[in-house]
Structure formats: structure tokens, C-alpha cells
Amino acid sequence: MLRGLMARDSGQAILATLGRILFLPWLYFAFGMAIFHESAPGELAVLWLFLSGFNDLIFLANARSILIEHFRVLALRPFGEKVPRVESEWSPINWQAE
């Protein structure tokens, strides 16, 4: 939903979502297979489930917080509202000095 509201068109939203949800876990899994190359297929399946689930949870938490904070502005964009620069909670810009 967040990618759909932030993208210029539907193709860009679809590609961004596919890249984050499908491509990144395969990239993580390739690195994991390089590290654990002598593991059994069952262990690799568990690694795949863990990496893809963790990836989905990270993007879900980020998208949820941005939607809660900026939904009205993002939804009004087709009617002339300018979209603000949306930063993640995990962005270094938002870190507070301790």
C-alpha cells in the first residue's frame, strides 16, 4: 500500500515491491548458502524461511509507521498535494544524540 501511494505509476510500485519482497531474500539466501554450503536441505529451508520472514517483518514495520504518520498527505497527492520527503524511523537523520 505504501509503495502504491508513493510511486508515480503502478509499474514503479510493483517493481519496488517485488524487489524488496522477492529479490532481497534471494540475495540474502545466496550469501547464506555461501556461508553454510555444507548444510542439509532442511537446514537451508529453515534459513530461507527465517531470512524471508525477517525481511518481510522489517519492511512491514517500516511501511506501517510511515503510513500511520503520513497517510493523509500521501493519499491527497493525486489532488495536488506535494509529497513530503518521508524518512524511515531507522534513518540516521532521525537518530538522537545521547
* pLDDT of 93 over the 60 cut: no
Residue at 60 is within a domain: yes
pLDDT score for 90: 60
SS3 26: helix
pLDDT score for 87: 62
The domain in which residue 36 lies consists of: 2-89
Residue at 27 is within a domain: yes
Rounded average pLDDT over 1-24? 86
pTM for this structure?
A: 0.66
54 versus 93: which is more confidently predicted? 54
pLDDT in tens, 22-73: 899 999 899 988 988 888 989 889 988 999 999 999 999 988 888 888 787 7
Residue at 6 is within a domain: yes
Residue at 94 is within a domain: no
Q: What is the rounded (10 degree) CA torsion for 20, 23, 26, 32? A: -50
How many structural domains is the chain composed of?
1
Residue at 96 is within a domain: no
pLDDT score for 23: 92
Residue at 45 is within a domain: yes
Residue at 16 is within a domain: yes
Angular region, 80: left φ>0, alpha ψ -120 to 50, beta rest: left
Residue at 95 is within a domain: no
